[in-house]
Amino acid sequence: MALASETARKAAYLFLILCCVAVLGFGGYRLYLDMAPAKVSVPEVPFGLKAGTEFLKGDSPDMRQELSTLPLQTQGEIRRATELFRSGAYAQANEIFNAVSLLYPDLTVSLWNEVNTLFEMDSLTDLESNRLNLVVGKLQGKFPNTGLAKYLESRKTYKSGNKSVALEMAKIAVEQAPALVETHLWYARLLKENNRLPQAVEEARTAISLSAGNEPRGYEVLAGLFHDQGNLDSCSSLLDYGLTQYPMDAELLLLRGYLWEYQGRYDEAEKVYQRILAFRPDFENAAVALSTIGEKTAPGVGGAKISPMDRSQLAWEILEPLVEKYPENMPLREALGLAYLKGRDYDRARIQFREIQSKDPEYPDIQQRIQECNVTRDSLRETMAPATSHDFSTMLGHYLVRYGATPAEFFKKYDIKNFRPVKKNAWQESFYDAPYKHTYTVVFDSLNRFREVHVVVYDSSTTSNHLGLAPEVFTRFLKQNSRISGIGNSTGETDCGEGLVIDAAVWETQDNFEVLARVVGTPKEIRMVRFDKSVLPPGLKLCDYISYLKEF
């Protein structure tokens, strides 16, 4: 009996000891959770880091928790603005974030989104610049000496032009706030800019994992890095996945277009670029890509860039003399038209197909060929240059810059990105205002002073006056220029010899001389030239201006 009692007592002591150990263990675990550095563990995400990889939270603020405390309507507005931000509509996104910030002046999540949106905008008004400085100061004051503050300092420093310091500040931001997605994205972008591609890849993958794949910019950066490294298989695989998640992402679609071009799939690439511009018409990279189809080479691939026009040049050289020798051979003419079409010279292709139609209206598929030229050419021109590039006062090359201005003065008023150099001291811009293609060439003299403007306007509509009488394009722009420069003096039709007859109007003031003309028999095109009057030699007659009119 005594033995049983002793055994029971020992069992009770053992149970009590185990309970104490359990309580102490639980207390120690809770103390560890409270005192030890907080961590986040990333999930399994395609193209991210290994599942379960842990990151210290550092001094990152918990914005998700703050967001969950807001009214559902406000949460919805922030999410809508976030989607606008991701689609590149920064101005619209900023309006929403700014409105939320005004309602909740101390709300970190709205201030954070607003400041990142302002940093992404290409140009800021004075009001927006002041707002950016205010929000940066407010966040840095709210989170002094944190990774978030260092990130903001990095972006400010980069904006001021000190890129090396910005890179170092971004590195510190990542170290202090390793769980903040934005710091990794920014650091990856700067590393890429400094050609430190392997490090940039790691940062981009980290951003993808930390965001659980919910941040398309991580995929954009990583796809761009794969592309720049020449790792096109990985880039293609990432695009296949990324575009299933974000099918309207402009940056991912742009890279898809590049890859198709490298494979020679130019029609598919063109459709991609046009698709981008349909929902994001101000995306300059897509417009440039569309205008340079066939001229790109894959990273790491040497050799000259060959455009579709260059590839078709041999066929042109063979077929053109044959068509000239056998003008009644319609299959031969069709082959030439198809060669022009393949080389993206839509105007000359259309001329050949229209000639076939005029001689044989029943020629197989000829109407479809003409339609292909019209649709492709017009859609290309519309996307390359929006009609809003000129208002009424600057149409027909009426740039509001005085004669004698330097190029620096001229391009301070008119964006140089819209122009390309065509010869020494001459710059040209083109835009499409349906159905008219405008080409304006600005000429500076040998001392680099603004001297003259050459204008060509082409009517791309399907109808024209083939009798050679004054067509709509001439009368329309004659009226338009009269509204700008006053009533001009009509010259009537003037025979300049060798079958060249021109119809023109001239305007003359103390410092300006203008000629607007059309060639009789070429009813779809007008040409105009505007001079600094002081540079013109005396005694010129109308036909003497033909060389100027045809110079560009």
Nearest C-alpha neighbor of 488 from the set 499, 480, 496, 498: 480
pLDDT at 300: 67
Q: How far apart are CA 542 and CA 229, in angstroms?
A: 59
Q: What percent of the chain has pLDDT over 70?
A: 84
Q: Using 50, 70 and 90 to split pLDDT, how confident is the model at 13?
A: low
Tens digits of residue pLDDT in 181-227: 899 999 999 999 898 988 999 999 999 988 888 889 999 999 999 99
Q: How far apart are CA 182 and CA 204, in angstroms?
A: 10
Between the alpha carbon of residue 336 and those of residues 265, 294, 330, 362, the distances in Å are: 21, 20, 10, 19
Q: Please name the amino acid found at residue 353.
A: F
Contact between residue 163 and residue 193 where contact means Cβ atoms under 8 Å apart: yes
Between 111-120, 149-158, 215-224, 335-344, the lowest mean confidence (pLDDT) is in: 335-344
pLDDT at 385: 42
Is the confidence at residue 36, as pLDDT, over 70? Answer: no
The angle formed by the CA atoms of residues 471, 472 and 475, to the nearest 5 degrees, is 90
What lies within 8 Å, CB to CB, of 473 at 6+ separation is: 436, 457, 459, 518, 523, 524, 525, 526
Contact between residue 181 and residue 200 where contact means Cβ atoms under 8 Å apart: no
pLDDT at 20: 61
Phi and psi at 181, nearest 5°, equal -60, -45
Task: Please give the average per-residue pLDDT across 489-497, as a whole number.
Answer: 85
Q: How far apart are CA 473 and CA 416, in angstroms?
A: 28
Host H or E run for residue 328: none
Phi and psi at 393, nearest 5°, equal -65, -20
Q: Please name the amino acid found at residue 44.
A: E
Parallel, antiparallel, or unpaired for β 489-495 and 39-41? unpaired
pLDDT at 464: 44
Q: Using 50, 70 and 90 to split pLDDT, how confident is the model at 422?
A: confident
Between the alpha carbon of residue 384 and those of residues 276, 418, 458, the distances in Å are: 12, 11, 16
Q: Please name the amino acid found at residue 130.
A: N
Q: How far apart are CA 43 and CA 53, in angstroms?
A: 8
- Supply 350's token pair: 């259309």
Nearest C-alpha neighbor of 480 from the set 501, 502, 454, 507: 507
Between 13-22, 278-287, 523-532, the lowest mean confidence (pLDDT) is in: 13-22
Instruction: Give the up-direction half-sphere exposure of residue 550: CA atoms within 13 A in the CB hemisphere.
Output: 9
DSSP three-state, residue 109: helix
Q: How far apart are CA 92 and CA 84, in angstroms?
A: 7
DSSP three-state, residue 3: helix
pLDDT at 35: 42
Q: Please name the amino acid found at residue 366.
A: I
Q: Please name the amino acid found at residue 208.
A: I
Task: Please give the average per-residue pLDDT across 269-280, as a whole number.
Answer: 86
Between 92-101, 109-118, 386-395, the lowest mean confidence (pLDDT) is in: 386-395
Parallel, antiparallel, or unpaired for β 501-508 and 489-495? antiparallel
Parallel, antiparallel, or unpaired for β 450-459 and 436-444? antiparallel
Q: Please name the amino acid found at residue 374.
A: N
Is the confidence at residue 548, as pLDDT, over 50? Answer: yes
Q: Where are the beta strands (DSSP E) in 234-333?
A: none
Q: Which residues lie across from 432 on neighbouring strands?
A: 437
Largest CA distance in the chain: 141
Q: Using 50, 70 and 90 to split pLDDT, how confident is the model at 384?
A: very low
Q: How far apart are CA 236 and CA 259, in angstroms?
A: 8
What lies within 8 Å, CB to CB, of 447 at 6+ separation is: none
What lies within 8 Å, CB to CB, of 21 at 6+ separation is: none
pLDDT at 380: 43
The angle formed by the CA atoms of residues 452, 455 and 456, to the nearest 5 degrees, is 155
Is the confidence at residue 167, as pLDDT, over 50? Answer: yes
Burial class (CB in 10 A: 0-12, 13-18, 19+), 259: buried
Total Cβ atoms within 10 A of residue 507: 19
Residue range 308-380 in CATH 1.20.140.10: no
Q: Where are the domains of the chain?
A: 8-36, 308-380, 388-549
Task: Please give the average per-residue pLDDT across 416-432, as a whole number.
Answer: 83
Task: Please give the average per-residue pLDDT across 317-335, as a whole number.
Answer: 84
Between the alpha carbon of residue 117 and those of residues 178, 452, 454, the distances in Å are: 21, 42, 41
| Dihedral of the alpha carbons of 11, 14, 15, 18, in degrees to the nearest 10 | -160
Q: Which residues lie across from 457 on neighbouring strands?
A: 438, 526
Q: Which residues lie across from 430 on neighbouring strands?
A: 439
Write the DSSP string, 338-381.
HHHHHTT-HHHHHHHHHHHHHH-TTSTTHHHHHHHHHHHHHHHH
Contact between residue 115 and residue 128 where contact means Cβ atoms under 8 Å apart: no
Write the DSSP string, 182-196.
HHHHHHHHHHHHTT-
Q: How far apart are CA 345 and CA 373, in angstroms?
A: 9
Residue spans of alpha helices (H) in 89-125:
90-103, 108-120
Is the confidence at residue 386, as pLDDT, over 70? Answer: no
Q: Please name the amino acid found at residue 399.
A: Y
pLDDT at 6: 62
